[in-house]
Amino acid sequence: MTLRISVIGTGYLGSTLAAGLAEFGHEVFGVDVVPEVVKKLNAGQPHIFENGLEHLLEQHTRSGRLRFTLDYDDIADWADVHFLALGTPELPDGSADLSQLHATIDALAPKLTKPALVVGRSTVPVGTAPALQERLRRLAPAGDGIELAWQPEFLREGFAVGDTLRPDRLVFGVQSDHALRLLEQVYAIPLSEETPVITCDLATAELIKQAANTFLATKISFINAMAQLCQVAGGDVTVLADALGLDARIGRGHLSPGLGFGGGCFPKDIRALAVRADELGVNVLSDLIKSVEVINSAQRIELAELAIDQVGGDVAGKKVAVLGAAFKEGTDDTRDSPSLTVADYLHDRGAFVEVYDPQAHLAPRDGFTQVGSVTEAVRDADIVLHLTAWPEFRYLDPAELAPLVKSKIIIDGRLKLHAPTWRDAGWKLVQIGRAATL
């Protein structure tokens, strides 16, 4: 059955969700407050880089199933279901900033005169949803006819379209059968493909998302701490990770060692969970999360210090080539990018840093320069740093790059380069947690 659905907020979650719901056959209105964004999306053009999104937007804006608007009057009583896909950025104390959610409810609710289901998709601290429902009901003429459900999202940047169309699980935090039935209609297609569903209360739904991100971040910090131990003890952390991963109870996912995690999700979500756990007196959890963070931040400094060692202890006046600016491959997102922390650290110590990334465009900033190719970045470099695991970096020909650089030293911060190929071409390749440096 075709539903009328609004998706409020058109960031990478909102625009992918809106396009995905149109692909499921629904009539969809996306809402944003930025006129240029709405204009672009109505022309079928994404305002962020996300694999496969342009194709889906183009197809469904053309078919008329997907439209975007600035005006809440277009959607308020039109939609059967309203999805809230707003950001919850970090406040200075580490807690989640809910102001976009509050502002949206304040704009939408006074226009809701008919019963409707509002579904939160943002990542929020436990206990947020009931307060939002109270706010909605207080402000909406439809009053108690407005029901809130919570459906956390598990989209990975770079794979958000696939994760929307073929989710590995759906979590429905609901308070009534009516809400559950509506969500089952929204997701009739993935449900017909036997996607597992977890139905739960609002608090559990809120927690599942933060727990998932925190657990994945913990795996990354665990393997990075093991990399430190391998470095000292002489083991090989990648072999260790492969062996751990073959244990079905552990799994190989998010066990790749290297520069650690960054981006717009893990860092802020784990800190927000730590703050909430502290507020609720569950300090054992916040202590665990703080250790995860300490290990993660230390990886960046460790790598930058290793680069300084490799150029003889003083990086001032040296040219450093940085391969990768995005926080991970497959995205142009540079929020809390580990690569940029390293670049900043070295620049602050006098290095001349040139950065190349296949997708990310850095805003003009003091310090380092962004260049348009690997060749430009590595020319005359005293050291090359491989910091974002873009596939194209894996296929670089070390023999071709060798004559361009001043010193054939490369630190593989993502442990993805084929060490023998680089070493055979005369390079000194260094990986934290793997011995055999030349």
- Per CB under 6 A, the segment of 48-56, 81-89, 154-162, 188-196 that binds ligand UGA is 154-162
Q: Is 373 exposed, middle or buried (0-12, 13-18, 19+ CB in 10 A)?
A: exposed
Clarify whether 265 is annotated catalytic. yes
Report which of 253, 266, 59 is spatially closest to residue 157, judged by C-alpha positions.
Answer: 266
Q: Which of 138, 156, 169, 365 binds ligand UGA (CB under 6 A)?
A: 156
Q: Which of 22, 155, 346, 385 binds ligand UGA (CB under 6 A)?
A: 155
Which C-beta is closer to ligand UGA: that of 142 or that of 259?
A: 259
* Using rule CB under 6 A, residue 310 touches ligand UGA: no
Give the separation between CA 353 and CA 351, rounded to whole angstroms.
6
Task: Give ∠ CA 307-293-156 in degrees, rounded to 5.
Answer: 90
SS3 356: strand
Amino acid at 196: P
- Per CB under 6 A, the segment of 53-61, 255-263, 354-362, 369-377 that binds ligand UGA is 255-263
Are the beta carbons of 10 and 30 closer than 8 angstroms? yes
* Using rule CB under 6 A, residue 263 touches ligand UGA: yes
User: Which residues contact residue 319 at a Cβ distance below 8 angstroms, ignoring those fewer than 6 apart?
Assistant: 351, 352, 353, 354, 380, 381, 382, 406
* Using rule CB under 6 A, residue 428 touches ligand UGA: no
- Per CB under 6 A, the segment of 52-60, 149-157, 354-362, 370-378 that binds ligand UGA is 149-157
Q: Which of 23, 50, 80, 157 binds ligand UGA (CB under 6 A)?
A: 157
* Using rule CB under 6 A, residue 50 touches ligand UGA: no
Using CB under 6 A as the binding rule, the residues of this chain from 205 to 244 that contact ligand UGA are 213, 216, 220
| Choice among 41, 265, 273, 351 that is catalytic | 265
* Using rule CB under 6 A, residue 368 touches ligand UGA: no
Please state whether 230 falls in left (phi above 0), alpha (psi between -120 and 50) or beta.
alpha
SS3 341: helix
Q: How far is the CB of 424 from ligand UGA (least distance, A)?
A: 27
User: Which residues contact residue 164 at a Cβ distance below 8 angstroms, ignoring those fewer than 6 apart?
Assistant: 16, 17, 19, 20, 155
- Per CB under 6 A, the segment of 135-143, 164-172, 261-269, 341-349 that binds ligand UGA is 261-269
Catalytic residues: 265
Contact footprint for ligand UGA (CB under 6 A): 123, 153-157, 213, 216, 220, 254-256, 258, 260-263, 265-266, 269, 327-328
